[in-house]
A and B are shown apart, each in its own frame.
Chain A
Amino acid sequence: MREPSDDSGVRRIGDARSDPDEAALLERVRRGDADAFDVVARTHAPRLYRLALHLARRPEDAEDLVQETLVRALPKLGRFEGRARLSTYLMRALTNLWRNRLRSKGRSRLVPWPEVGDDRQQAEFPDPAPSVENGLLKRDRADDVRDALERLEPTRRLTILLREVEGLSYEEIADMTDVPVGTVRSRLARARDDLRKILGGRR
């Protein structure tokens, strides 16, 4: 696994370069201090929840993902020994949890995600644009983008969210999703292309 260089400015956890306050907080979390857990959760939950909601789609699933991630991952940081930013560590934990749950449902592994334009895709995620309701109640851009995201193949959705929303580099995404940088690049290209097709952008 790549590690950020010492001069990268990346703050690490659990060693002398860590923020002492953060390290102390995490130590308290490890010891079961709920107040410390609360402080860390309040710092990181909003960002994690945003990612989780785009991935899991249902708010209750997103909340469960985030809470499970925080509850299970934070107390493990003592053994983690600090190799990345805490936010990245938690994001990775969350995406791993999401992928495992996705796989346990057998969806992405056993049933190929239908391509944009595929009839199955259309059946599962119908384009909401032509509906009567949408004609009467004009949908805003955010709704369209959410719908478009939901129709993306999961790994493409994850990749473009990590890049565009979380601002991670190709290398960070590759590390987090355990694929080569080239795969990150192709997933991003396909995700953008899919979104463009769904949302009707120019080429």
Chain B
Amino acid sequence: MNGNGRDERLQDYLDDRMTPDERREFEGLLARDPDLAAAVDDARALGDSLRALDAPLPEGFHDRARERFDASVSPRRRMPWEALGLAAAALVLGAILVPWAMRTEFGESERVPMESWELQEEVRKAPAASEPVDRPAEPKLERVAADAESGADRREEPEDSAGFAPVPVAPKGAVAKNAAAPEPVANDADHPGTVANERFADAVDDEGVGGRADRVPESFQKSAVTDAPRRQRVAAPLAQATAPAPGATPLDADHVRDAGATATTPGRLPDADTWSRWIAAPGGDALASLAPDGDWASIAVIAGPADCDRVRVIPEPPGGVVVYVPGGPHAGCAIRLPDPAAAVQVVRETFP
């Protein structure tokens, strides 16, 4: 027995994926073929070696983990009356400041009300005020929808694709802008408590095990088009987040910090004053350092770190990022768009 057939059977034998008959036959071969038997021994020894690798926890690991947990849950430990107070404040601020800011800074005509996914889809299809020359087409939604219609199975990707679903690659210009723009949060060990540019991460989203880390944007959009009724996902424009959209989950203590803004950026950048109103929180100037720089537009949404995973930009801009900016009561998700002229909607995914 030679070649791939032998290797495959050897692997099936090692991993106990043979029927009893196949196993008996293979063991007969093993008895007659010393090379094959040696290969089995080698493979088993390799497995033993892998299992023998020790990796003791670093000293102080649990103390550091506990501190981190404490830091992460402190907002949830607020008393209910505090949460209610925050909710009331958010309602007032959202009702007064956000519409006023949108009207005075950008004009009513640029606002796109969003009542449903269908409307969002219209927003997505609408041409932006000015399209950057190097902005690539946004094919994902169409591709996913086409896949859904054709029954194409996107799981069947070639192994050589490194096992990851395609991700949008920003054009060179956008990459350069991205690189030039100051990063509010670095995603490295220097900032262990932060979540930077992990918008694809559903490792800890509400579906947990059921999530698809490498496809969240696609599956999200697909579900938005095809599965929304079944899954009861509701995307509430953040301008209305203070007043739940029809069918949305009433705001609770975890959501009262979502006093954000619907973002339309029609050709001009918000100034620092607008920025501070957008973030709609006392002391919001903590995020002022994220105010637009160069030709980036930035939008802040007050939310917890996990909620940044739920913040979506429609249409998803190439090179746009959602990052969590730590900073005590001013922490929030900052959405940075490479194209300040593009009209986008910022929505928050909720799970009734």
For the complex, give the distance between the alpha carbons of A97 and B68 in Å. 17
Most B CB contacts (10 A, CB to CB) among A46, A94, A192 go to A192
Residues from chain B with a CB closer than 8 A to the CB of A76 are 204-206, 208, 306
List chain A residues, Cβ under 8 A from B58. Answer: 59, 63
Picked from B46, B51, B68, B202, the residue with its CB within 8 Å of the CB of A201 is B46
A67-B68 in contact (CB<8A): yes
B208 contacts which of A89, A154, A188 (Cβ < 8 Å)?
A89
Interface string of B203-230 (1 = CB under 8 A from A): 1111111111111000000000000000
In angstroms, Cα B228 to Cα A128, docked, is 53
Residues B15 and A188 in contact, CB atoms below 8 Å apart:
yes
Contacts A76-B306, A79-B351; is A154 near B162 (CB within 8 Å)? Answer: yes
Q: Given A71, A101, A160, which contacts B187 in the complex, CB threshold below 8 Å? A: A101
A112 neighbours in B (Cβ, 8 Å)? 160, 162
In the complex formed, the residue of A with least CB distance to B167 is: A109
Does chain B have a CB within 8 A of A77? yes
A54 B53 Cβ-Cβ under 8 A: yes
Selected contact of A83 from candidates B57, B74, B210, CB within 8 Å: B210
- A179 sits at the interface (CB 8 A): yes
Cβ 8 A contact of A142, one of B53, B74, B200: B53
Tell me the smallest distance from the CB of A27 to a CB of chain B, in Å: 13
Q: Interface with B: A119-127, A131-139, A161-169, which one?
A: A161-169
Give, as a whole number of angstroms, the nearest-CB distance from A82 to chain B: 9
- Do A1 and B210 touch across chains, with their CB atoms under 8 A apart? yes
From B49, which residue of chain A is reached at the shortest CB distance? A145
Name the distance in Å between B225's Cβ and chain A's nearest Cβ: 20
Q: Bin the interface of chain B by size.
A: 35 or more
Q: Which residues of A contact B54 (CB under 8 A)?
A: 50, 142
Residue contact A146 to B53, C-beta cutoff 8 Å: yes
Residues of B with C-beta under 8 A to A193: 7
Closest to A187 in B: B159
Instruction: Name which residue of chain A comes closest to B321, CB basis.
Output: A104
Binding site for B on A (CB under 8 A): 1, 31-32, 34, 37-38, 41-42, 45-46, 49-50, 53-54, 58-64, 66-73, 75-77, 79-80, 83-84, 88-89, 92-97, 99-101, 103-104, 108-110, 112-113, 141-142, 145-146, 149, 153-155, 160-161, 163-165, 170, 177-180, 183, 185-190, 192-193, 195-196, 199, 201-203
Closest 9 CB pairs of A and B: A96-B213, A96-B203, A32-B73, A72-B204, A155-B163, A50-B55, A93-B203, A80-B208, A201-B42
